[in-house]
């Protein structure tokens, strides 16, 4: 039907029909609905930034007939989806360059490193473009929770002993009548056997330890060696471990199994999208000026490889440049938009990676995280290359206030702290960690931070605080012919799924503008001036 409408009345008629059918909702993060493949014929768009949002926007615009030019300041695509391999250089503002020196086949995901199974948008793009995925082991019950006193608790011990203690306490409360006003007789009768099974309680609902937490003696051959449970960790000791809350880490929706990662590095999805573009991304294009008028958009950039200055013209622009970077670019945004851009505060996030022999596997750890707290926060074990000779281990992945303090230290001190965290958990192996690399995202050019904090100090229920500030609302709307898109403009600013949703919304926003303007004149395609 839409194709027939387009043949009769042109693009404005098609867009208007889609508007009337409710296919252009007001919500910026709405799902991108099907649109005719010739919808954008004769129209041009410049997309600024070849991170995930920019790549998705460019691809989807091309699929709808737009002529798209994609500019990227870096010499690679992917943005924060950055996989570091042997020979790559890490540049950070105010720091000496670091060069990766890894063994063959090893890599380090400096940015995102896991994909939740419910992020079907990103997983769908991986499938569409033939990017193979593998399971990312996001949690290991053999990993540790480490208290400030250095006491290590296996994750399995913390989880199952806490379940046992809580189940015993609740069963006692039921039996002593403390919950008579909250529970019916039938509910009490049903709850008690559940608690016995849930907490692995014995006899009169007593918790005396469980093999779920690990074995005191292992089963063997014959009848003389049975498996037995060790004594439970006292409840007081569990509660005294400052990292005890992290035993619920894998219950977070965003961290639940099954998690995935692209084979060979997180950048492979971005690379897969880019190689399917009709017009490949223009790399090393450092945008210096953004101008728009009633009739179109002009973008001036420097080719950092040759030093050549170039200018492009188009009907519309999708801008995915991170706001701290965009604030430093000469642009004629409206004053409220310019002020909103300048006011966006980005968080800190850091990773410190080492190459090492896979000593953690001797401790039954195959992937997952050990939580140590402090400025280094955690140790992250690789879940690929299992039983290989060497692997990549993170001695730090920190953000928020601890991450800010960590990033202010000299790189040598950051490396020493990350190595010390590994040594504290795996004594004798800290010195085996070699080829260290540090990434402080607030110092990374063309990013200047991992994600924004729209509401400093606010906490919401769940992984993300609900974002609905005046600046957030304003930047989720077009500024003339310029539409903004990025994970920063979604409710999941730290995830590629948020970037995808925002990119889809930017495509819908451009088509909506075409409908509202009732464009009838033919516009030039993007061309180098």
CATH ID of 155-217+226-240, from 3.40.50.300, 1.20.1260.10, 1.20.1440.240, 1.10.510.10: 1.20.1440.240
pLDDT in the model for residue 523: 47
pLDDT in the model for residue 65: 93
pLDDT in the model for residue 518: 52
pLDDT in the model for residue 35: 76
Strand partners, 466: none
State the DSSP string of 435-476. Answer: EEEEEEGGGSTTTSSSSB-SSTT---SSSS-----HHHHHHT
**Domain boundaries of the chain, sorted by first residue:** 42-78+268-345+464-506+519-528, 83-143+258-264+347-443, 155-217+226-240
pLDDT in the model for residue 516: 79
Q: Which run of H or of E encompasses 352?
A: strand 349-357
pLDDT in the model for residue 266: 98
pLDDT in the model for residue 463: 64
Cα 281 to Cα 30, 50, 54, 447: the distances in Å are 26, 7, 10, 18
Asked if residues 213 and 160 have their Cβ atoms less than 8 Å apart, the reply is yes
Can you tell me the distance from the alpha carbon of 443 to that of 448, in angstroms, rounded to the nearest whole number? 5
Nearest to 269 by CA among 122, 371, 484: 122
Q: Which two tokens stand for residue 321?
A: 């440049």
pLDDT in the model for residue 25: 36
Can you tell me the distance from the alpha carbon of 213 to that of 158, in angstroms, rounded to the nearest whole number? 8
Nearest to 352 by CA among 411, 423, 290: 411
Residues in contact with 477: Cβ distance below 8 Å, sequence separation at least 6, in sequence order: 28
What architecture is the 83-143+258-264+347-443 domain classified under in CATH? Alpha-Beta Complex (3.90)
pLDDT in the model for residue 456: 74
83-143+258-264+347-443 matches 42-78+268-345+464-506+519-528 in CATH topology: no
Backbone angles phi, psi at 176, to 5 degrees: -90, 5
DSSP 3-state of 99: strand
**pLDDT, tens digit only, all 529 positions of the chain:** 555 555 555 544 554 555 454 444 333 334 577 777 778 888 999 999 999 999 999 999 999 999 999 999 999 999 999 999 999 999 999 999 999 999 999 999 999 999 999 999 999 999 999 999 999 999 999 999 999 999 999 999 999 999 999 999 999 999 999 999 999 999 999 999 999 999 999 999 999 999 999 988 888 888 777 888 899 999 999 999 999 999 999 999 999 999 999 999 999 999 999 999 999 999 999 999 999 999 999 999 999 999 999 999 999 999 999 999 999 999 999 999 999 999 999 999 999 999 999 999 999 999 999 999 999 999 999 999 999 999 999 999 999 999 999 999 999 999 999 999 999 999 999 999 999 999 999 999 999 999 999 987 665 545 677 899 999 999 999 999 999 999 999 999 999 999 999 999 999 999 988 877 754 444 444 445 4
Please identify, in words, the CATH class of the domain defined by 42-78+268-345+464-506+519-528.
alpha beta
Q: Which two tokens stand for residue 109?
A: 């995901």
């Amino acid at each position: 039907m839409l194709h027939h409408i387009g043949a009769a009345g042109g693009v404005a008629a098609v867009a208007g029909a889609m508007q009337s059918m409710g296919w252009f909702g007001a919500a910026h993060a709405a799902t991108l609905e099907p649109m005719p493949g010739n919808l954008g014929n004769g129209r041009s768009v410049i997309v600024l930034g070849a991170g995930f949002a920019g790549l998705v926007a460019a691809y989807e615009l091309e699929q709808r007939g737009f002529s798209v030019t994609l500019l990227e300041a870096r010499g690679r695509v992917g943005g924060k989806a950055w996989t570091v391999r042997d020979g790559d250089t890490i540049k950070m503002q105010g720091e000496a360059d670091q060069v990766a020196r890894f063994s063959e086949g090893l890599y380090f995901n400096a940015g995102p490193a896991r994909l939740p199974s419910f992020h079907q948008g990103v997983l769908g793009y991986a499938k569409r473009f033939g990017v193979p995925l593998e399971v990312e082991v996001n949690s290991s019950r053999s990993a540790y929770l480490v208290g400030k006193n250095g006491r290590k608790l296996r994750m399995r011990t913390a989880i199952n002993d806490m379940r046992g203690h809580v189940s015993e306490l609740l069963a006692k409360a039921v039996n002593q009548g403390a919950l008579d006003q909250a529970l019916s007789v039938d509910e009490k009768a049903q709850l008690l056997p559940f608690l016995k099974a849930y907490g692995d309680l014995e006899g009169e609902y007593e918790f005396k330890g469980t093999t779920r937490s690990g074995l005191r003696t292992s089963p063997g051959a014959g009848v003389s060696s049975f498996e037995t449970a060790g004594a439970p960790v006292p409840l007081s000791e569990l509660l005294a471990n400052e990292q005890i809350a992290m035993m619920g880490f894998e219950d977070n929706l965003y961290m639940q199994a099954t998690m995935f990662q692209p084979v060979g590095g997180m950048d492979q999805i971005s690379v897969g999208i880019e190689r399917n573009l009709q017009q490949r991304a223009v790399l090393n294009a450092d945008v210096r000026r953004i101008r728009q008028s009633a009739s179109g958009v002009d973008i001036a950039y420097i080719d950092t490889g040759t030093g050549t200055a170039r200018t492009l013209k188009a009907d519309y622009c999708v801008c995915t440049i991170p706001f701290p970077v965009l604030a430093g670019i000469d642009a004629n945004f409206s004053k409220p938009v310019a002020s909103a851009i300048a006011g966006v505060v980005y968080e800190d996030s850091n990773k410190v990676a080492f190459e090492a022999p896979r000593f953690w596997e001797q401790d039954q750890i195959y992937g997952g995280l050990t939580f140590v707290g402090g400025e280094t926060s955690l140790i992250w074990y690789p879940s690929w290359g299992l039983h290989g000779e060497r692997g990549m281990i993170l001695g730090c992945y920190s953000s928020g206030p601890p991450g800010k303090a960590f990033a202010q230290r000299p790189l040598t001190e950051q490396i020493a702290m990350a190595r010390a965290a590994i040594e504290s958990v795996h004594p004798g192996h800290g010195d085996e960690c070699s080829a260290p690399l540090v990434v402080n995202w607030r110092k990374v050019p063309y990013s200047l931070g991992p994600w924004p904090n729209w509401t400093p100090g606010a906490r919401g229920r769940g992984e993300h605080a609900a974002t609905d500030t005046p600046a957030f609302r304003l930047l989720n709307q077009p500024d003339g012919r310029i539409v903004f898109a990025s994970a920063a403009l979604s409710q999941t600013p730290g995830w590629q799924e948020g970037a995808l949703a925002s990119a889809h919304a930017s495509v819908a926003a451009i088509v909506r503008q075409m409908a509202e303007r009732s464009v009838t004149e033919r516009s030039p395609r993007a061309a180098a001036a």
